Amino acid sequence: MWIDVQPVPKPRQTRSDVWKKRPVVMRYRQFADELRLACKEENFVPSDHLVIEFHMQMPKSWSKKKKMEMIGRYHQVKPDLDNMIKSCVDALFSESDRDDACVHSITAKKVWSIVGKMNLTNKW
């Protein structure tokens, strides 16, 4: 299932984030809300195995030539894949009656793309 949501890594949150609206935390919360809404609209129910493909948006400062060369290549810079996975899993399971501890395997990758989006499936 393709989701037109810009992937966001999970930020390290502190107690003050409850009242201090840091931009990085607000961006994550918006991402989580959009992801849950998209899953609800598509009737996507996460299972104990997830396959996630993160399409990371290229910087606007890159030339058209460089953008064309990089489409589909592996994204090997920050944000880290583990933080991306954490944000996705936490968003998917926070509103459900199941805990994210039920997830036993995740297959994930990051690639460069013109626009940021995600592909989520329960299949290998």
> Is residue 53 pLDDT above 90, yes or no?
yes
pLDDT of res. 19: 85
- How far from chain centre, in Å, is Cα 73? 18
Six token digits for residue 100: 């994210």
- The structure's pTM equals 0.87
pLDDT of res. 15: 85
pLDDT of res. 28: 92
Q: Vertex 57, ends 123 and 61: CA angle to 5°?
A: 165
CATH of the domain at 115: 3.30.1330
Q: What's the total number of domains in the chain? A: 1
| DSSP letter assigned to residue 82 | H
Count of all residues that appear for the chain in the document: 124
pLDDT of res. 18: 82
pLDDT of res. 81: 94
Mean pLDDT of 22-27: 91
Q: What is the rounded CA–CA span in Å between residue 75 and residue 91?
A: 22
Q: What is the rounded CA–CA span in Å between residue 88 and residue 1?
A: 14
At 72-123, the pLDDT tens digits run: 999 999 999 999 999 999 888 876 666 777 788 999 999 999 999 999 998 7
Mean pLDDT of 56-75: 95
At 28-39, the pLDDT tens digits run: 999 999 999 999
Q: Give yes or no for a contact between 47 and 106, defined as CB atoms under 8 angstroms apart.
A: no
Domain of 59 in residue numbering reads as: 2-121
Amino acid at 21: K
Q: Give yes or no for a contact between 32 and 90, defined as CB atoms under 8 angstroms apart.
A: yes
pLDDT of res. 65: 96
